[in-house]
Amino acid sequence: TGMFTYDPGFLATASCESAITYIDGDKGQLLYRGYPIDQLAKSCDFMDVSYLILNGELPNAAQKSEFDSLVTHHSLVHEQLHFFLRGFRRDAHPMAVLTGLVGALSAFYHDSTDITNPRHREISAIRLIAKMPTLVAMAYKYSQGQPFIYPQNDLSYTGNFVRMMFATPCEDYKVNDVVERALDRIFILHADHEQNASTSTVRLCGSSGTNPFAAIAAGVACLWGPAHGGANEACLQMLEDLQANGGIAKVGEFMEKVKDKNSGVRLMGFGHRVYKNYDPRAKLMQETCKEVLSALGLENDPLFKLAMELERIALEDPYFVERKLYPNVDFYSGIVQRAIGIPTSLFTAIFALARTVGWIAQWNEMLSDPEYKIGRPRQLYTGAVVRDVPAQR
Ligand code: CMC
């Protein structure tokens, strides 16, 4: 092609330098700023990890408390945004609502629109991280026809989200520790994953110099697709279908279908393009899954028994072992979210909430790079050669 290379899907093209996340698929390794994901998941909360992803280092106690308080004090959204939300149908998909709400934020924060000013970029980052839980919970409450629950400043980031999701104004609500910890872990495990489709979308969109709310809305839109953030929803759908069609008694038959290449059926939540050894996030999510099911007394719930049975068979079956097909993070995260009462249609919105910190850190990294340029892929033109418009048509 002379001037440029043809690389559909960017399988062989690095689009940027980045110092945020490192993945080694063969080793099953995921690092945020050099720290292994399992160590972060065990010793840090989502605010520590967000600070780390944004700033490059873990916060000390004073930095943590300042960051916490900054995020907490930006968690309210402009009251007018409630009216914007009310324009949606109640049965709108939460990702449709979220794409709209995040994009609409750009119309509310005119005080920090200079993206060349690092201070403005920082405020926008804090606002987005702080407001995402509020927006996701608003979308959920709206779909249920329930009143919105406003953020409460003495709760943790994740505790606050749990309360905004599940509390009602009619009763005192106490956040369940196990639920809070489980969601916090889901947030940590989904916070960044280097140049995946939605992150690349945020960078490309942001490279035009558009405002961060618009760039993140583009990321939300991209994440929505079933080949990306939509996989955990697909996994739960599979479990529900199997349950409705015979449940555990039909697992053997279902697995035969999965192994039959002509059936077109895959075991959703298994296999990964990059992790061929194991998905380090899945191991951590599996722990959380066991903890949540036992703490909530759901070990005997038929759907969860079914999931555990599929997992048991797949981990022993030579078909999966030979092809290095292990459960991925979505297999367990779907089960955990269902166990804590999050409806399947909201799973991808929760993923978006968690990934916002990664998106905004990558956007900021791009704008801080003195070499940054507007993204402008080339093409191989395959259309008609030059020709004249006929004189008579
Ligand atoms: N069930 C049954 N067979 C499978 C599965 C599966 N889930 N995944 C892969 N295979 C088989 C595939 O048929 C092929 O067999 P053969 O070599 O005999 O033709 C072999 O394993 C290799 O598969 P592949 O399609 O070449 O692998 P890939 O790297 O292109 O696909 C994947 C990765 C994630 C798309 C795929 O494993 C899959 O479709 N999994 C189910 C969907 C899913 O859970 N997706 C979530 C991914 S993690 C979320 C994220 O990070 O965004």
Q: Mean pLDDT in the chain?
A: 94
Q: Whose CA is nearest to atom 17 of ligand 1?
A: 323
- Is ligand 1 within 6 A of the CB of residue 334? no
pLDDT of residue 176: 96
Ligand 1 midpoint to CA 188 (Å): 24
Per the CB < 8 A criterion, the answer to whether 225 and 196 are in contact is no
pLDDT tens per residue across span 150-177: 999 999 999 999 999 999 999 999 999 9
- 3-state helix vs strand vs coil in the chain, percent to 5: 55, 5, 40
317 catalytically annotated: no
Q: Which residues of 220-250 are buried (b: 16+ CB within 10 A; e: fewer)?
A: bbbbbeeeebbbbbbbbebbeebbeeebeee
- Is ligand 1 within 6 A of the CB of residue 281? no
Note the pTM of the prediction, 2 decimals: 0.93
Structure tokens at 71: 């995020």
4, part of any domain: no
Structure tokens at 256: 């035969």
- Please list the residues that pair with 29 across neighbouring strands: 24
Residue span of the structural domain in which 241 resides: 231-339
- Is ligand 1 within 6 A of the CB of residue 187? no
What percentage of the chain carries pLDDT values higher than 90? 84
Probe target for ligand 1 pocket from 266, 315, 324, with the most ligand atoms within 8 Å of CB: 266
Q: Whose CA is nearest to atom 46 of ligand 1?
A: 231
Among 92, 352, 96, 356, which residue's Cα sits nearest to residue 223? 352
In the predicted model, is pLDDT for residue 382 greater than 60? yes
pLDDT of residue 277: 81
Give how far Cα 307 sits from Cα of 21, 189, 226, 252, 303, Å.
31, 21, 20, 13, 6
The reply to whether 325 and 311 lie within a common domain is yes
184 catalytically annotated: no
pLDDT of residue 346: 95
- Is ligand 1 within 6 A of the CB of residue 269? yes
Q: What is the mean pLDDT of the segment spanning 306-312?
A: 90
- Number of CB atoms found within 10 A of residue 377's CB: 10
The reply to whether 144 and 236 lie within a common domain is no
pLDDT of residue 35: 98
Catalytic member of 74, 190, 193, 272:
272
The reply to whether 191 and 267 lie within a common domain is no
DSSP letter string over 361-379? HHHHHHHH-TT--------
83, part of any domain: yes
Question: In the structure, what pLDDT confidence band is assigned to residue 29 with cuts at 50, 70 and 90?
Answer: very high
In the predicted model, is pLDDT for residue 53 greater than 80? yes
pLDDT of residue 2: 65
In the predicted model, is pLDDT for residue 1 greater than 80? no
373, part of any domain: no
The reply to whether 274 and 299 lie within a common domain is yes
314, part of any domain: yes
pLDDT tens per residue across span 122-140: 999 999 999 999 999 999 9
- Is ligand 1 within 6 A of the CB of residue 282? no
Query: How many structural domains comprise the chain?
Result: 2
The reply to whether 287 and 190 lie within a common domain is no
390, part of any domain: no
Q: What is the CATH number of the domain that holds 301?
A: 1.10.230.10
pLDDT tens per residue across span 328-362: 888 899 999 999 999 999 999 999 999 999 999 99
pLDDT tens per residue across span 200-236: 999 999 999 999 999 999 999 999 988 888 888 889 9
- Is ligand 1 within 6 A of the CB of residue 258? yes
The reply to whether 16 and 135 lie within a common domain is yes
Q: What is the CATH number of the domain that holds 135?
A: 1.10.580.10
